[in-house]
Structure 1
């Protein structure tokens, strides 16, 4: 396993890539919420930059248009592909994202799908599964895997949704902190359910929710409730050999310090 970091596709992209290299890393997941950035010219700039700096993009994380609320109330109504009100435009946006990612040396295409209904007989569950399949078919054409990022659904519901698509290019970008912060599962145990589908991993830490409205607090690696020694051991046990991409959801110098500390923390665990 190797260690990388999230890089956001915006005007500071070149500086972020150079900073990544200065921190001793050579890979990243590229995150983009701005559809206007997904152009032929941008793709050429990215390809030039990563070739010059010898950086691998391990996944393209694609956002979608419309409102976004990271909590347990409004989030049910506006996150991902679950809300019918936004589904059509978000399917179209994610398909455009896949077509853009096809211009890059990227295999994995990642997004949050939203709060998937637990009940498999819920008609909205079926519609979301069909929406995922529609996008995954485009990803398949583009020689990509479609990855659910963990967090907003329980592990059993997520596995069921993957199986119900009937597609062989659908997997998981496993974020252990999200499973805690959304109160959905212990991430080490969740690998027993989801391990065979894990194609990407986020290095992030956090706490369980402190109330019924807000997500748990994100924390620097090693300072939350994720049992990272056990988690890394479990990844090794299931045969995962891909990247661990550090995500720290703050900005500025503190973010950089936490990323460097997180890298050192992960390196110690991986060397055991």
Structure 2
């Protein structure tokens, strides 16, 4: 298991500089995240490929956002996040399809996104609508030689596994963010591996706490300072045979972010190296 970091792709991003910084931090992989639909084109892809070639960075996944409102809480979030809100579903599916084509242009095999608060009731009409949409997206990814990965957090592990089974294609998996499971109050990440471990194709290295009220997510924390039991989590990943990367995500900015990333990198590498 290698340790990498999440890199954001924006209009003003100098990827060569970003990737050079990763190299200086002792990393050789990342997940590339983009929420700007106007960047999903051949010109941007050429810049990405040039930066990858020059700095020798592996992009293990393309994390594709979607257009429209988004509120990361338990109330407005139900109405705005992912493919679950019917009002935004078609528009967002189109952007994710474009994201799959962009990932193909840059040679990336995993497409990741948040699907939203999927209903736990499989008879909920909205659940079936999302599954139909995801079948189209997964089929598009398959045409492009890719996997589609659910970013965990907004659905329970059982709901997520059911959705993968109901989509019914062999290129659908999980990008497991252990902190998100806690911050959304949906499950314990170590135990979740018993539910959907065989589908895990990517990992975020992030930490956080359980929610303390019914409106807002739990707090994100520096890796090792939240409620994710990383020693047990890494042991469990080894038990199930996970050999992919762990990509650190620290959702703050500035020097504190870099400090926390380096601290998290050391913690993870020490745990990975332990017997």
**TM-score, reference length from structure 2:** 0.98
Counterpart contact for 2:16–2:54, Cα < 8 Å: no
Tell me the residue number matched to 2:2.
2
Partner in structure 1 of residue 161 of structure 2: 159
SS across alignment from 2:105: coil
The Cα RMSD (Å) is: 0.6
- Map 1:193-208 → 2, pairs under 5 A: 193-208=195-210
Misfit runs of 4+, over 6 Å: none
Maintained 8 Å contact 2:185/2:210: yes
Distance 1:100 1:185 in 2: 33
Question: Please, which of 114, 121, 127 is the counterpart of residue 125 of structure 1?
Answer: 127
Cα displacement (A) at 1:15: 2.2
Offset, 1:37: 1.0
2:185 alignment partner, one of 180, 183, 186: 183
Equivalent residue in structure 2 for 1:109, among 87, 93, 111: 111
Q: CA deviation at 1:7?
A: 0.4
| Contact 2:176–2:200 under 8 Å retained in 1 | yes
Show the counterpart of 2:80: 78
How high is the TM-score relative to the length of structure 1? 0.99
Give per-residue Cα distances to partners, 1:57-78, cap 9 Å, x unaligned.
0000000000010000000000
CA distance in 2: counterparts of 1:14 and 1:214, whole angstroms? 37
Please list every run of 5 or more consecutive structure 2 residues that lacks an aligned counterpart in the other structure. none
- 1:102 is paired with a residue whose SS is helix
- Paired residues of 2:158 and 2:195 also in contact (CA < 8 A): yes
Partner residue of 1:216? 218
C-alpha deviation, 1:215, in angstroms: 0.3
Stretches of structure 1 lacking an aligned partner (at least 5 in a row): none
Structure 1 position 62 matched with structure 2 position 64: yes
Aligned equivalents of 2:61, 2:102: Cα separation in 1: 12
Which residue in the other structure is 2:258 paired with? 256
1:157-203: per-residue Cα shift (whole Å, max 9, x none)? 00000000111100000000000000000110010001000000000
* 1:135 maps onto 2:137 in alignment: yes
Q: Distance in 2 between the 1:129 and 1:81 partners? A: 10
